[in-house]
Amino acid sequence: MIIALIFTVLFGYLLGSLSFSYIIAKKIKKVDIRQHGSGNAGATNTLRVLGIGPAISVLALDVLKGIVAVIVAAWVAPDDSGLFPALAGLAAIFGHNWPVYYGFRGGKGVATTIGVLASLLFFPALWAGIVAIFSIVATKYVSLGSLLFAVLTPVFSFFLYNYYDYPVVYLYLAGVVALLSLWRHRGNISRLLTGTESKLGKKSQVERKE
């Protein structure tokens, strides 16, 4: 069991460490995405630097990383406790944020978090996602939508726990991911509070390397 757990966590981390924004930016423009725009290796900065097509590809592939990590762990898992998928999913998010292949400089893990939480807590993640999408449409702040998704998923999971009977470890995972997302977005939170956060569709006036 220990060997299988180590395998799933390591697989999740190494898979999560594949930075598709970095790979696609290098392929299309021969640039390091982390040296342009906000400096973040993610779909939103890819949109800012490369445009909508590459951004959609990055978003889809980063979501897929989380899904695949969870599916593989569920297949390997020896029981139904949910421990393997939860830890593998968390490892994939950590891999995206701190990728071993790219000097541990990655993104903020939003898309991979979506893939992990949607795979494990589908309906709570769905309701949180709807709120997040509406907030992005209304405010044009992607960071606000990302934060709402991360924070509301554990909230909805708690209230829907008895109805859907998810493994309790999934609730702990959602809480840890929410705290991680808040910490990774601490700069965005500061700018949201001061009204200086960049809106969707607008280029940053300054290049921020975070």
Distance CA 114, CA 132 (A): 11
What's the pLDDT score for residue 159?
92
Which contiguous run of DSSP H or E holds residue 95? Answer: helix 83-97
pLDDT digits (tens, 9 = 90+) for 90-131: 999 999 999 999 999 999 999 999 999 999 999 999 999 999
Rounded to two decimals, the pTM is 0.91
What's the pLDDT score for residue 162?
83
Q: Domain residues of the chain, as ranges?
A: 2-194
CB 203 within 8 A of CB 38: no
Q: Which of 81, 77, 108 is nearest to 93 (CA)?
A: 108
Q: Which of 70, 61, 79, 82 is nearest to 18 (CA)?
A: 61
What's the pLDDT score for residue 29?
87
Distance CA 129, CA 143 (A): 13
φ/ψ of 192, rounded to 5, equals -65, -40
What's the pLDDT score for residue 206?
33
Give the Cβ contact number of residue 139 at 10 Å.
15
φ/ψ of 163, rounded to 5, equals -75, -45
Residues of the chain falling short of pLDDT 70: 202-210
Distance CA 171, CA 121 (A): 9
First to last CA, the chain: 38
What's the pLDDT score for residue 202?
62
Distance CA 69, CA 85 (A): 7
| HEC readout, 28-79 | HHCCCHHHCCCCCCCHHHHHHHHCHHHHHHHHHHHHHHHHHHHHHHHHHCCC
